[in-house]
Amino acid sequence: MILLKIPPILAFTVTMACFEPTPEPGLPCTSDGWCPPGQTCYMERQVCIPNDGFQSCGNGYIDQLEEMCDDGNTISGDGCSADCASDETCGNGIVDIVVNEQCDDNNTVAGDGCSTGCMIEICGNGIIDFGEVCDDLNTISGDGCSANCLSDETCGNGYRDINEACDDGNNASRDGCSNTCITEELLWIDMSPTGDSPTSRQNHTMVYEAAHQRIILFGGLLDRGNDDPDIASQDTWAWNGAIWIELVSEASPSARTEHAMTYDSNRDRVVLFGGSDESGVQDDTWEWDGSAWEEKIVELPVPRRHRHAMAYDTIRKRTVVFGGTNGGLLDDTWEWDGTTWSEVTPETGPGPRYNHAMAYDPVRQTVVLFGGIDDMNIRRNDTWEFNGTTWDDVTPSPPGPESRFGHDMAYDPTRGRVVLFGGVRSDGVRLNDIWEWTGVSWDEVSLDGVLPAVRQNHALAYDSMRRRLVLFGGRGNAGITFGDAWEFGYNDL
């Protein structure tokens, strides 16, 4: 047998030539980023890829300079577009039609013309976009979605549609816009009942007892007719919007006139203070709890008075009393918290007066006072507000209602106004005008139709359940004392 002897160095060369593998893409890069010839290290994955890999969409490698994605194919709709330029997500700034995008403004914020789902925000596209209430695929009104997609065309939504005269955002009537969205008219309605009712009177008081949804009337100077002298009363009546009901209590304030009364809504108590009876001017405090009167025994009574005014501050939970007379005119301010009377001593105030009127504005959180007779016997037309600490003269220019006394006021929450009615002018002429205080100005209300007769010393209260101001009694011309009941508010439609 013949043996062929090969030199060692040649043997090594042959072995390498026969067994060296051909490098394939996907091999790991070395620690210094080396790859075989014709390949480049893809640093993000630390693998070697062909030199032309960065320029080839669909190779599974993301070219950081030109590609947003690369899922190994050139098919759109699978999370990476055919050109590898989009990851097909809304908000990336690229409109991907294949995934049903209509727009893409590089964000996912609604209300900028392109929705959070990358649909064009336009009324009539069938999609309820930001700011739209409805969208029924058209821009035609009268089909349940308005032409601008801002209303579902239902009464009470706060949007006035083509078939509506008004829409105030609710389905309540007697607030200027009915529950069928028809404009309502302000007017006086004669509510004088035919059955039992309070006797004709003046200088009585009325308040709305919210807990029982009724008006409470107490006392006053009764007209006995003929030549008999008028006499004070101590009867208590309730008005529910349809009938008067006399309420009986074992204990009761004495028969009196020129007292003041308000409703403490926090404690559900009608509070009565002062007035004059057959023994003179009084300083007693009484409360009505819905079924009976109770006298409150206090350590520090308020100085006796009549012809004063009271209002209840619902925020501070205090009954506020100002002014009145007891031989001399008073200009003091007192508060009742249900247990104790406390005097408040602001630096300034309306000055001594009587036969003025007050009402509380809960929105502006202030007691409003108007008019009366001062210590110079001058009829006033100034407006003051009390915030619990100070009295501020807020008389506007022009001042509004003419100088007067014997008027009454109540707050109308439906329209957010303090309403003033009637009284006696400086020249002795009685009035039946209506004014409203907005917090800035007095606005006179002009009305058509039948009005209550001119009068003074009447009573006015607001029925918040029925949304009506209630007027009862008063003194008119020619010595007439009234026993009529009127309501002021929007008509029923």
pLDDT tens for each residue of 342-365: 999 999 999 999 999 999 999 999
Confidence band for 138, pLDDT divided at 50, 70 and 90: very high
Backbone angle region of 250, left / alpha / beta, with phi > 0 → left and psi within -120 to 50 → alpha: alpha
- CA dihedral sign of residues 438, 439, 443, 449: positive
Q: Which amino acid is at 276?
A: S
- For the record, the structure tokens of 360 come out as 């509380």
List, in order, residues 6 or more apart from 432 with CB less than 8 Å away.
421, 422, 451, 452, 453, 454, 455
- pTM, two decimal places: 0.77
What are the structure tokens assigned to 270, written together?
């009608």
- pLDDT value for 54: 54
Strand 318-322 with 459-463, pairing: unpaired
Q: 84 and 70 in contact (C-beta within 8 Å)?
A: yes
The DSSP bridge partners found for residue 404 are 425
Cα–Cα separations (whole angstroms), residue 289 to 263, 268, 280, 297: 10, 7, 26, 16
Q: What is the pLDDT averaged over residues 384-410?
A: 97
Poorest-confidence range of 99-108, 223-232, 329-338?
223-232
- Measure CA 181 to chain center: 20
Q: What pLDDT shows up at residue 55?
A: 58
Judged against a pLDDT cut of 80, whether residue 335 lies above it is answered with: yes
Residue 152 is classified by DSSP as: -
The whole-number pLDDT of residue 57 equals 87
C-alpha–C-alpha distance, residues 22 and 260, integer Å: 110
Which domains does the chain carry?
155-180 (no CATH), 186-490 (2.120.10.80)
Q: What's the pLDDT score for residue 44? A: 64
Lowest mean pLDDT among 110-124, 208-222, 282-296, 323-337: 110-124
pLDDT value, residue 47: 75
Name which residue leads in pLDDT, 86 or 493: 86
What are the b/e assignments for 251-276, b being 16+ CB within 10 Å?
ebbbbbbbbbbbbbeeeebbbbbbbb
Q: Output the CA–CA distances (angstroms, integers) from residue 207 to 77, 213, 236, 274, 408, in the order listed.
A: 73, 11, 12, 16, 12
User: 80-91 as b/e, with b when 16 or more CB fall inside 10 Å?
Assistant: bbeebbbebbbb
Residue-level pLDDT at 6: 39
Vertex 413: Cα angle to 409 and 417 (nearest 5): 50
**Residue 323 reports pLDDT greater than 60:** yes
Do you know the residue count of the chain?
493
pLDDT over 70 (residue 12):
no
| pLDDT score for 16 | 37
Q: Is the pLDDT of residue 45 over 90?
A: no
Decide: helix, strand or coil at residue 444.
Answer: strand
Residue 165: what pLDDT? 95
CA atoms within a 13 Å half-sphere pointing along the CA-CB vector of 17: 6
DSSP line for 250-295: SS-PPSBBS-EEEEETTTTEEEEE--EETTEE---EEEE-SS-EEE
Q: Which pLDDT does position 226 carry in this prediction?
A: 65
Cβ contact 391:343 at 8 Å: no
What's the CA gap between 268 and 252, in Å, rounded? 18
Q: What is the pLDDT of residues 284-294, one digit of tens each?
A: 999 999 999 99
* 430 in Cβ contact with 452 (< 8 Å): no
Q: What residue type is assigned to position 284 of the chain?
A: D
pLDDT value at position 1? 40
User: Is the model's pLDDT at 35 over the cut of 60?
Assistant: yes
Q: Is the pLDDT of residue 17 over 70?
A: no
Mean pLDDT, the chain, rounded, equals 90
H or E element in which residue 178 lies? none
Mind listing the pLDDT tens digit for each residue in 241-273? 999 999 999 999 999 999 999 999 999 999 999
In the prediction, which pLDDT does 25 show? 54
- The Cα–Cα gap between 219 and 225 comes to 17
The pLDDT of residue 193 is 77
pLDDT more than 90, % of the chain: 80
Residue of higher predicted confidence among 41 and 128: 128
Closest by Cα among 88, 92, 87, 117 to 105:
92
* pLDDT tens sequence across 400-455: 999 999 999 999 999 999 999 999 999 999 999 999 999 999 999 999 889 999 99
What's the pLDDT score for residue 224? 73
| DSSP 3-state of 430 | strand
